[in-house]
Amino acid sequence: MKARLLGHVLLLFPPDKKENGDIALIDVEIKNGGMIGKMFKEFNYEVRKNVIDVFIIEIPKWLKEKFVVKKNYAKARISEFYAKKEGSEPIIYGYVLEIYPRF
């Protein structure tokens, strides 16, 4: 049986988040495989995902093979993850590009 990839995610990080000590620690945990929401909650942050745009993209052959699809296009959604701790300003943690073959 061939495994089918249901979605593909790319996370982009703004460079300025290292100035906040908590965010730097959370960042290390996430880069080591921790789940974004869970890591922020452990540090008493609320985290939200704000969808910026949804669009259709042409996908390369390697991604078509991973998705096990014949069509050349997929849905893409770009979102920002932002976190807020009580008494502090929200901080944008990163931007996420999600690609889904079925739409």
Structural domain boundaries in the chain: 8-100
Mode of pairing for the β-strands spanning 73-85 and 45-58? antiparallel
Q: pTM surpassing 0.75?
A: no
Dihedral class, residue 67 (left if φ above 0, else alpha if ψ from -120 to 50, else beta): alpha
> In this structure, what token pair is assigned to residue 50?
């704000």
Residue with tokens 């050349």: 72
Single out the residue of 29, 58, 53 nearest to residue 41, CA to CA.
29
Per-residue pLDDT of the chain (103 residues; tens, 9 = 90+): 455 566 677 767 666 655 678 888 888 888 898 888 899 999 999 999 999 999 999 999 999 988 899 999 999 999 998 899 999 888 888 888 899 988 7
Residue 68: CB atoms within 10 Å: 12
